[in-house]
Amino acid sequence: MTDTTDLTASASGTYTIGGDLPVVRLGYGTMQLTGEGVFGDPADRAGAIAVLRRAVERGVTLIDTADAYGPFVTDGLIREALHPYADDIVIAAKVGLTRPRPGEWVPVGRPEYLRQQTELNLRHLGVERLDLLQLHRIDPQVPLEDQIGELKALQEEGKVRHIGLSEVSVDEIEAARAIAPIASVQNLFNLTTREAEGVLDYAEANGIGFIPWFPLATGELSGEGSPLAEIAAEHGSTPSQLALAWLLRRSPAMLPIPGTKSIAHLDENVDAAAIVLSDEEFARIDAL
């Protein structure tokens, strides 16, 4: 495989969130830095800090976190590793999911809860304003106008720059946009899971950044002898790198945030930013 460690994530290009917040398209998601079940502290705190610093060294500017990761573990790790933040660092936070126990996620969208968690995100990250605050899930027990309305109020108070959504349909995006401007959408999307194709197309057409979570779920496609592995061998890359390259080629609004606890894996992911797929290669991968 070609050594591309002198390259940076900036090879993936840039995208401007909300019309005024530029980020390098290939970002980093922090969820894997927590304990088992996305609960508690990491087994190797120093290693987690090192991975975050390495991400920034490799040119990553978009870092995704959430109050529910740990909870609040990743916010603290980000602050310890990177504060005071460089001017180009954009932290995308989330609120709206509670954590009763490891592996369990329960939406709570009451306005007072969303406000409390936003204030805690601000405190734990050590900032006065969140660049991007995403509603982690829409709570079906609370009117949408109350949930988005509270985020809009926080935005008007200067505590939030841009508002995003997570795991939503096109109809839900449009309903939210009737209440406040929506700058990003974060849905499950990868080479083998594409139920959100319509949401991606809508986001691209409407100037909304699309953040695919679980971007490297290549599954059996990564196995030895699989079609993706064959193309990767031809290209001198790994199947995971091709999966990221495919995402970046799929849409200019795509902002992948692959996560890892390993510096070696982080470097492998960042190296994918330099992969340029031909039309034929993209079509072959897409057909898988």
The percent helix, strand, coil of the chain (3-state, each to 5) is 40, 20, 40
Q: How far apart are CA 159 and CA 95, in angstroms?
A: 14
The torsion angles phi and psi of 51, rounded to 5 degrees, stand at: -65, -45
H or E segment at 79? helix 73-82
Cα angle, residue 45 at apex, residues 113 and 83 outer, rounded to 5°: 65
Residue 233 has which token pair?
A: 């061998």
Q: Which of 59, 58, 69, 60 minimizes the C-alpha distance to 93?
A: 69
CA 118 to centroid of chain Cα atoms: 18
User: Are 69 and 58 in contact, with CB atoms under 8 Å apart?
Assistant: no
CA 18 to centroid of chain Cα atoms: 16
Name beta bridge partners: 205.
none
Place of tokens 């996560």: 259
Catalytic annotation, pick one of 69, 85, 113, 202: 69
**What is the pairing mode between strands 14-17 and 130-135?**
unpaired
Q: How far apart are CA 226 and CA 274, in angstroms?
A: 23
69 is catalytic: yes
- Report cis status (omega within 30 of 0) of the bond before 22: no
Q: How far apart are CA 57 and CA 66, in angstroms?
A: 22
Q: How far apart are CA 260 and CA 183, in angstroms?
A: 26
- Which sequence positions are flagged as catalytic? 69
